[in-house]
């Protein structure tokens, strides 16, 4: 299993220039005061389509086009943000996109995918339906995270972070199926080997921890459910697990009830609208699950900002 290289990350950055937002890395004085280490955030909620996924989806289509292998259309599946990003990327490339999403997908994410022109199929069987649609229409099945081009696209966020943040001791990354952390870790470790990279996943949606324990791509035995809806992948990808084993210092789990308070603290102190998934890193810091001493510098990757109104209700009820 080959890992994405620094050259491939650089090529992805060049390819995406002008097509993604170079999102700001922002200081967080109030979080710093309450947390010990100095905190900065990489604000991928301000990315096109409202999440980092716009990087990987666009890089996948652009890289395929460069290789002369642009398909007739794209079939893909996603609980949310990748669906929106694939729709966005497909529209930019002039390709039809069909996205399989679960019936309980967050409404704003379904609406956004449709707004960018994708056909959305709501189905319980995401991968089965997606394979069938791809075969029937002659489309390529684009995996939402287990794809080297998608990983190289996500890595561009890590490269920007290292370039913009100054020296970092630790980067905390939300983990679903492993797409974001694969890229971030590859970029961080090739540019700044001394920076720790730690992934954080909800205990109720711990596909990566489960896969690492099994030493294989064993899906979770239950359907993962979390306030952090963006992190509810049922399994870790093969390319992703390879990147994680090579580049990631640790992947830890946070209890479900730690996510809403961390989410609120991020909203209140940064005044950025982020989705709950983006808050798991701060939850891990609050619980002392990662070492982060005063005087060190920690980056939180804020993966997206596509918030379900229902999650806002839950948030405010828990305070």
**What residue ranges bind a second copy (CB under 8 A)?**
45-46, 50, 108, 264, 267-268, 270-274, 305, 307, 309-310, 312-313, 315-317, 319
Distance CA 176, CA 234 (A): 8
Please report how close the Cβ of residue 21 comes to a second copy at its closest, in angstroms: 10
Total Cβ atoms within 10 A of residue 298? 28
CA angle 228, 1, 242 (to 5 degrees): 35
> Would you say 88 or 247 has its CB closer to a second copy?
88
Given a contact cutoff of 8 angstroms between Cβ atoms, the answer to whether 4 and 11 are in contact is no
Buried b (16+ CB within 10 A) or exposed e, 130-155: beebbeeeebbbbbbbbbbbbbbbbb
> Would you say 242 or 273 has its CB closer to a second copy?
273
Please tell me which residue in 42, 53, 109, 189 is annotated as part of the active site.
Answer: 53
User: Of 288, 190, 285, which is closest to residue 246 (Cα–Cα)?
Assistant: 190
CA angle 310, 316, 317 (to 5 degrees): 90
Please tell me which residue in 51, 78, 277, 303 is annotated as part of the active site.
Answer: 303
Q: Check if 189 is active-site.
A: no
> Would you say 50 or 80 has its CB closer to a second copy?
50
Strand pairing of 25-27 and 38-43? antiparallel
Q: Check if 303 is active-site.
A: yes
Strand pairing of 170-174 and 297-302? parallel
Please report how close the Cβ of residue 267 comes to a second copy at its closest, in angstroms: 5
> Would you say 156 or 270 has its CB closer to a second copy?
270
Rounded alpha-carbon distances, angstroms, from residue 272 to 35, 305, 318: 18, 8, 20
Please report how close the Cβ of residue 266 comes to a second copy at its closest, in angstroms: 9
> Would you say 69 or 271 has its CB closer to a second copy?
271
Please report how close the Cβ of residue 312 comes to a second copy at its closest, in angstroms: 4
Distance CA 102, CA 110 (A): 10
Please report how close the Cβ of residue 46 comes to a second copy at its closest, in angstroms: 6
Q: Which residues are part of the catalytic machinery?
A: 53, 303
């Amino acid at each position: 299993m080959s890992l994405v290289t620094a050259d491939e990350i650089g090529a992805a950055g060049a390819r995406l220039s002008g097509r993604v937002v170079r999102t700001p890395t922002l200081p967080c004085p109030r979080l710093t005061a309450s947390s010990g280490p100095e905190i900065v955030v990489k604000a991928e909620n301000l990315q096109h389509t409202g999440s980092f996924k716009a990087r990987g989806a666009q890089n996948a289509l652009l890289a395929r086009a460069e290789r002369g292998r642009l398909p007739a259309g794209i079939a893909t599946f996603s609980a949310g943000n990748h669906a929106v990003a694939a729709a966005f990327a497909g529209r930019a490339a002039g390709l039809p996109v069909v996205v399989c999403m679960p019936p309980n997908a967050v409404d704003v994410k379904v609406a956004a995918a449709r707004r960018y022109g994708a056909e959305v199929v709501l189905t319980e069987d995401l991968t089965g339906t997606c394979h069938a649609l791809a075969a029937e229409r002659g489309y390529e099945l684009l995996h939402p995270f287990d794809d080297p081009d998608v990983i190289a696209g996500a890595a561009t966020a890590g490269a920007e972070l290292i370039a913009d943040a100054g020296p970092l001791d630790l980067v905390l990354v939300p983990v679903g199926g492993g797409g974001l952390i694969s890229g971030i870790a590859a970029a961080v470790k090739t540019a700044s080997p001394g920076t720790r990279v730690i992934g954080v996943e909800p205990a109720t949606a711990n596909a990566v921890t489960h896969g690492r324990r099994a030493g294989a791509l064993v899906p979770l035995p239950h359907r993962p459910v979390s306030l952090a809806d963006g992190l509810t992948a049922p399994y870790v990808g093969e390319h992703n697990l390879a990147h994680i084993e090579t580049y990631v210092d640790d992947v830890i789990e946070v209890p479900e009830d730690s996510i809403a308070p961390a989410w609120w603290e991020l909203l209140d102190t940064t005044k950025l609208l982020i989705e709950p998934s983006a808050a798991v890193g701060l939850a891990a810091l609050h619980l002392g699950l990662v070492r982060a001493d005063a005087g060190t510098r920690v980056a939180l990757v804020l993966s997206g900002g596509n918030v379900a109104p229902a999650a806002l209700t839950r948030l405010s009820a828990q305070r």
